[in-house]
Chains A and B, each alone.
Chain A
């Protein structure tokens, strides 16, 4: 056992880059999957919608811990390929984020009144043009606050990746606590780091939501 020194706090602060890195990669991966889920969810084809709904229910109705461990143990077994905790965490959080983002974006597209579709059709726009010039720009604005709100959830949920031994903020704190046995100091420190990251995003989301309300 040793004392906590200033360098340890800096080390914890630097561990936050893995939390942020995992979040950013999961946002990118999740956005790609989210677009696919959103499209499957709105196409006029019952089996496609059923697949999307099943996907969303599975990822929103099960613990992230379970998803992480199934991916971590499942990929090597089903494909024979070795996965690092980092790769498993990326895959898992991307699939998880895809379910939520897909649902948020579907809601945003469906929030556009039907009259907008009809009006743009009546001035002779094709379906693609309707989407490109009328629907997507409006839906995009609506979707920004809840999307950033979900990013906050994602930042917090990445703490669960510590179960795989992946060294992000929470895992780093566990290691630091094992070495110094100062749990209160160590965990309050990382809680503050999480708070700063999430609070900035929360404020941003709230501000954009306010601005959106004024613009309409």
Chain B
């Protein structure tokens, strides 16, 4: 599943994380010796406090399981990506129902949004994964996580989308009509595009939060990136290194997607 190119790439990163090579790199830049003295200083301070520290970081043991890390990262991205698609559908549907003339429909959406936003994601996941089987609905970990994450994201998006659509002033629509726009043109140029422009930044930050929060899926046994960390920990007993690497990968993904979403916003909405 993992091709040779990516293996070489990960080995290179793994080698770079080796303490001795880091020391060489760090001490080769001006002022780097000072940085490389930090671990020693920490040890000396702890020594004065009567604490004994002799720990060597061994990231190599963790990087040896790079294929697991890659597979976990791919599943995390697939899971979050699918949850975003379903979450957006739920959000649009909910926002539509909230502007409905039927009181019952509005009430259902309001209860949905309040219940989901005021309970922990982890407990929601436990209800879907552990609770539903007692009603005869058995789901595997990934499906349960996908359902929970979609429902959770949808609740946050309902409010964001509704606010975006409501921000389009009625006078704008009337102005469009007076220009002789067709209904389709009106929807495309006066309602959809400006509304998406308003909704986009808040929605994008929810998407990144979802990517990070999807790590709870590992707690019901979905083999996502965080699960890979737990597995590597159990194999190597390098708990700190395993979770440092996993958390760093999440950080890189979060920063990458935040930058990507901002870039898309700039290209689509600003440069026109």
Contacts and interface: CB of A to CB of B under 8 A. Distances in A.
Contacts of B243: 66, 69-70, 73
B51 interface: yes
B119 interface: yes
Contact of A191 (B55, B119, B208, B219): B119
Contact of A79 (B51, B119, B133, B244): B51
A44 interface: no
B160 to A, nearest CB: 14
A122 interface: no
A194 B114 CA distance: 12
A70 B244 contact: yes
Given A77-B55, A156-B120, A65 B216 contact: yes
Interface in B117-138: 117-124, 126-127, 130-135
B234 interface: no
Contacts of B131: 183-184, 187-188
B123 A170 contact: yes
B118 A152 contact: yes
B120 A66 contact: no
B53 A79 contact: yes
A105 to B, nearest CB: 19
Contacts of B272: none
Interface string A38-65: 0000000000000000000110111101
B123 A63 contact: no
A62 B250 contact: yes
A177 B247 contact: no
A156 B213 CA distance: 12
A58 B251 CA distance: 7
Contacts of B213: 63
Interface string B209-225: 00011011011000000
A152 B117 CA distance: 9
B57 to A, nearest CB: 9
Interface string A145-162: 000000010011101101
A192 B205 CA distance: 28
A92 to B, nearest CB: 12
B99 interface: no
The DSSP consensus for interface residues of chain A is: helix
A79 B208 CA distance: 33
Interface string B173-206: 0000000000000000000000000000000000
A163 interface: yes
A66 B250 CA distance: 9
B240 A157 contact: no
Given A61-B254, A78-B42, A198 B134 contact: no
Contact of B120 (A157, A163, A182, A188): A157
A61 B239 CA distance: 20
A202 B247 CA distance: 30
25 contacts: A58-B251, A60-B254, A61-B250, A61-B255, A62-B250, A62-B251, A66-B247, A69-B243, A78-B46, A155-B120, A157-B120, A159-B123, A170-B120, A170-B126, A174-B126, A184-B127, A187-B126, A187-B131, A188-B131, A190-B123, A191-B127, A194-B119, A195-B115, A195-B119, A198-B117
Given A70-B244, A202-B118, 18 more contacts: A61-B250, A62-B251, A63-B213, A63-B247, A65-B216, A66-B226, A70-B240, A73-B240, A78-B46, A79-B49, A80-B52, A152-B117, A160-B120, A160-B122, A170-B122, A187-B130, A188-B127, A198-B117
